[in-house]
Amino acid sequence: MRLWHVLTALLLAGGMSGCATRGEQAKAAPEVAVGQAAPETRAAQQPQLEIEADATLKAVLQRSLALARAVASPDAGSISELEWARLMAVTPQQAQQALQTEGLFEAQVRVERVSEQPLRLKLVVTPGEPVRVGRLTLEIQGELADLVDANEPAAQALKAKVLAQWPLQPGSPLRMDDWASAKNAVLALLRAQGYASANWSGTGAQINPSQKSARLFLVADSGPLYRAGGIDVEGLNFHQLERVQALADLPTGSTLTEAALLDYQSRLTKTGLFDQATVTLDPDPTEAGQARVKVVVKEAPIHTTTLSLGYSANNGPRVGAEHLVRRLLDRPLQMRNKLEWARDLQRWNGELSTHLNGRFERDLVGATLARESVDGITETSQRLRVGRSHERTEFERLLFAEVERSKVCADTDGTCLTAQAASLNAHFTWRQLDSILLPTQGYSFQFQAGLGWSVDRFDAARTQGIFGRLYARAVGYWPLGGLWTSQARLELGATDSANDVNVPLSQLFWAGGDDSVRGYPYRGLGGSYLGPLEIGSSLLATTSLEVAHPFTAKMPSVQWAAFVDAGRAADRVSDLKPAWGAGVGLRWRSPVGPLKVDWAWGEELRRGRLHLSLGVSF
């Protein structure tokens, strides 16, 4: 017993002594830079895997292999040797299965240990020759096949297009992703052309690894061709059913292609009468010959009022209000009134127009009253126009007759020029843009032409005569790769008149300012003088080139930009020597409106100028 007590005491003493030693070591630990060295030590001990293969195959293997995922795991350092051995053993089979999706059915894969501490592994891939398409059988059945047999031109053209666009032709490498996307593309094409229930009756790929070839079998069932049988509309409370249906341009029996349905939806949205509009068809194949088109709309409020605040270097701070009535006196008419009040510009615009008809046209009557002061010159003007517009997303046309009166006076001595004009005008716009509001790719082109008669009065003298005006503006947008974008602008204008008659200032040109040649004041380039009065010029030429890039990829709406502008307005071609401006800017596509701040150096003025433009609507 005593011996047992002695041994127990010795063991307890030794244990306590051990605890004290560990405690002392723990106290001493801070003296060693363990906290600083640990991350480097862990990084050095982290297992690594090197894959010897081209970039495409390497990406496939990194996604597919359990070994690659284990190496990339934060807990890789704690994986046991037994588990590493298991992962290495199954890797060749997993890799071969993954490589078969790339058409490599005879790939050889081995895993090598490069080092033990830390564990470094190498995956060596010998891909071999890919399997290629040796024979292709692509057949079409269903109503499309029947129409082809009946020599229907549209059906024959569609079948030829399906066969021509099939990407996996004999000799092409067979990748599973390409195989799947090719089949999806065929169905998408058939459905877009009115065969909404198109599907595959059967597909197959017989692969002969030894001959490195594959035989493809595909049978597409087009199903029936869907034809318009009527239009059902949901969501109407105020607007007329007949007008909504008339916008469709889908006569009974016409083919219900994807483009026709999207065009109809675009027309409904373009009217401005609906907050939302969707157009689909009834997919029931038994009713395909008289398929119902289903339209669901959410009407916009009849009355809408928008208030706005803004600032422009051209005219200073501004406030604005706009009121829109989408259905006036319970008739298919809409009325718009817009008031803008800035430091140097006060303007009212009013327009009464019909709703868009089935030809995308509307008739309109518009009026404008404006007063603008620039450098001691004050202009008041009144305009009245009557015309017809054609409005599509990609094309707009406005034909109108206009009468206008303009009075320009010097603030110093009261000298005034009055001009009155009547004209016929045609304005055209073509656009192909990825976004109307915030474009980054595409182009827009505007062209205006006018012919009229003007009468002016200056210093008790009266002159009259015919005049003509031409104006063109082209803007292009190009992505440059990565997050870089660019845009370029070219602007040209010319006005000519008989008997040197003066025309209203709206028919003339200036350059300089926010949207012209930056680095110069608003209307600071060009403009001829009539006594003390500065009036516009008869010729205009400006151009601009700009590149932009987000400050960070996480905030693509905030960008910096660099630009070069050039141009001038003048009365003679020989005087159109360009004035140059260059600078940098900030762009913010904010939720409440666009903000643009530019600083530009005006080469002729030999100084910089700040251009600020901000608009907020609520």
From 170, 197, 221, give the residue that closes a domain.
221
How many C-beta atoms surround the C-beta of residue 114 within 10 A?
12
HEC readout, 57-99: HHHHHHHHCHHHHHHHCCCHHHCCHHHHHHHHHHHHHHHHHHH
E strands, 459-512, are 461-481, 484-497
Separation in Å, CA 421 to CA 383, 404, 453, 615 = 10, 5, 5, 33
Does the residue 24 lie in any domain?
A: no
Query: Does position 426 have pLDDT exceeding 70, yes or no?
Result: yes
What integer pLDDT is reported at residue 594 of this predicted model? 66
Does the residue 374 lie in any domain?
A: yes
From 126, 150, 171, give the residue that closes a domain.
126
Q: Are residues 282 and 321 in the same domain?
A: no
Q: Are residues 164 and 193 in the same domain?
A: yes
What integer pLDDT is reported at residue 592 of this predicted model? 57
Does the residue 15 lie in any domain?
A: no
Reported as a pLDDT band with limits 50, 70 and 90, residue 1 is very low
Average pLDDT value over all residues in the chain:
87
Q: Are residues 200 and 216 in the same domain?
A: yes
Mean pLDDT of 32-43: 45
Q: Are residues 308 and 199 in the same domain?
A: no
Query: Does position 178 have pLDDT exceeding 70, yes or no?
Result: yes
pLDDT in tens, 595-613: 889 999 999 999 999 998 7
Mean pLDDT of 57-69: 89
Q: Are residues 370 and 437 in the same domain?
A: yes
Are 186 and 203 within 8 A, CB to CB? no
Q: Are residues 347 and 450 in the same domain?
A: yes
pTM of the predicted model as reported, rounded to 2 decimal places: 0.68
d(CA 554, CA 556): 6
For 589, residues 6+ apart whose C-beta sits below 8 A from its C-beta are 438, 557, 558
Query: Does position 551 have pLDDT exceeding 70, yes or no?
Result: yes
- Locate 217 and state its tokens: 């079998």
Reported as a pLDDT band with limits 50, 70 and 90, residue 593 is low
Reported as a pLDDT band with limits 50, 70 and 90, residue 195 is very high
Q: Are residues 409 and 450 in the same domain?
A: yes
pLDDT in tens, 442-471: 999 999 999 999 999 998 789 999 999 999
What integer pLDDT is reported at residue 477 of this predicted model? 95
Q: CATH number for the domain including 411?
A: 2.40.160.50
Separation in Å, CA 245 to CA 152, 170, 232, 239, 454 = 29, 48, 8, 11, 45
Q: Are residues 415 and 281 in the same domain?
A: no
Q: Are residues 104 and 250 in the same domain?
A: no
Q: CATH number for the domain including 122?
A: 3.10.20
What integer pLDDT is reported at residue 198 of this predicted model? 94
What integer pLDDT is reported at residue 24 of this predicted model? 41
pLDDT in tens, 471-524: 999 999 999 988 899 999 999 999 999 988 999 999 999 999 988 999 999 888
Query: Does position 589 have pLDDT exceeding 80, yes or no?
Result: no
Does the residue 33 lie in any domain?
A: no
Q: Are residues 440 and 470 in the same domain?
A: yes
Half-sphere exposure of 278 (CA within 13 A, CB side): 5
Number of domains in the chain: 4
Q: Are residues 109 and 149 in the same domain?
A: no
pLDDT in tens, 383-392: 999 999 998 8
From 299, 324, 339, give the residue that closes a domain.
299
What integer pLDDT is reported at residue 614 of this predicted model? 66
Closest CA to 397 of 329, 445, 440: 445
d(CA 426, CA 123): 69
What integer pLDDT is reported at residue 346 of this predicted model? 95
Q: Are residues 484 and 344 in the same domain?
A: yes
Does the residue 8 lie in any domain?
A: no
What integer pLDDT is reported at residue 316 of this predicted model? 79
> Containing domain of residue 282, as a range?
228-299
pLDDT in tens, 98-108: 888 888 888 88
Does the residue 178 lie in any domain?
A: yes
For 166, residues 6+ apart whose C-beta sits below 8 A from its C-beta are 136, 138, 182, 186
Does the residue 12 lie in any domain?
A: no
Q: CATH number for the domain including 271?
A: 3.10.20.310
